[in-house]
């Protein structure tokens, strides 16, 4: 039986040695109150571990600081790495980790913690993956967003990433993600924050 990821989180330590965990997504989510009643803790808080929990209770640690996002089928997680203006990741990664500079600054991990693939962002020169995103399509639309028909009986939900350009205030383009290969599928959707 395939194991399913039920939650993702981080473990941190405060200067006074208080250790706490933040569940960012899934069962036990507590990101709105991550200190669990320990708000007076001195700063800064240092990263100790990024992890996810499986449905059988297994805890899997990841060698990254970035926050993982569960795939819709819960078979893995996507991690998008922060990058600097030169396109290099700002995250500390193990020496044997694949090169994840822009434009390929995101990876998929399997539920067992192994690396599935680096996400292939071949869409635009000078662009990089900014974050994961979900697009909900409720009606058929035309070329410039005009509504062509009534609402769908069931909304279509697509999971993917937003791709933006360096030092550019243009909208980010949504690309659907093929979680088995890491390939991005173009969509006619853009988003602005």
Residue in this structure with the two tokens 């020496």, named with its chain if needed: 95
| Angle made by CA atoms 24, 28, 33, in degrees to the nearest 5 | 60
Mean pLDDT for each consecutive 10-residue tract of the chain (193 residues)? 87 86 78 55 82 94 91 94 82 80 88 93 76 78 61 78 78 88 85 66
Residue in this structure with the two tokens 């990058």, named with its chain if needed: 83
Query: Are 130 and 172 a contacting pair, CB within 8 Å?
Result: yes
Domains of the chain, by residue range, sit at 1-62
At 30 the pLDDT is 55
At 15 the pLDDT is 86
At 155 the pLDDT is 75
- Distance between alpha carbon 107 and the CA centroid of its chain, in Å? 9
At 2 the pLDDT is 80
User: Whole-model pTM?
Assistant: 0.82
């Amino acid at each position: 039986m395939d194991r399913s990821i039920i939650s993702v989180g981080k473990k941190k330590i405060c200067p006074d040695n208080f250790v706490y965990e933040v569940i960012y997504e899934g069962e036990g989510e507590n990101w709105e109150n991550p200190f669990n009643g320990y708000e007076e803790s001195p700063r800064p808080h240092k990263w100790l571990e990024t992890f996810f929990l499986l449905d059988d209770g297994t805890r899997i640690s990841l060698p990254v600081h970035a926050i993982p996002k569960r795939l819709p089928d819960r078979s893995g997680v996507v991690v998008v790495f922060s990058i600097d203006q030169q396109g290099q990741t700002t995250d500390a990664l193990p020496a044997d980790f694949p090169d994840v500079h822009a434009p390929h600054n995101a990876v998929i991990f399997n539920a067992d913690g192994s690396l599935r693939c680096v996400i292939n962002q071949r869409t635009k020169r000078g662009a990089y993956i900014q974050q994961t995103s979900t697009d909900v399509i409720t009606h058929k639309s035309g070329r410039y967003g005009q509504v062509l028909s009534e609402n769908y009986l069931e909304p279509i939900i697509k999971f993917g990433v937003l791709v933006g350009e360096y030092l550019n205030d243009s909208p980010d383009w949504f690309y659907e993600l093929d979680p088995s290969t890491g390939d991005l599928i173009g969509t006619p959707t853009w988003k602005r924050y």
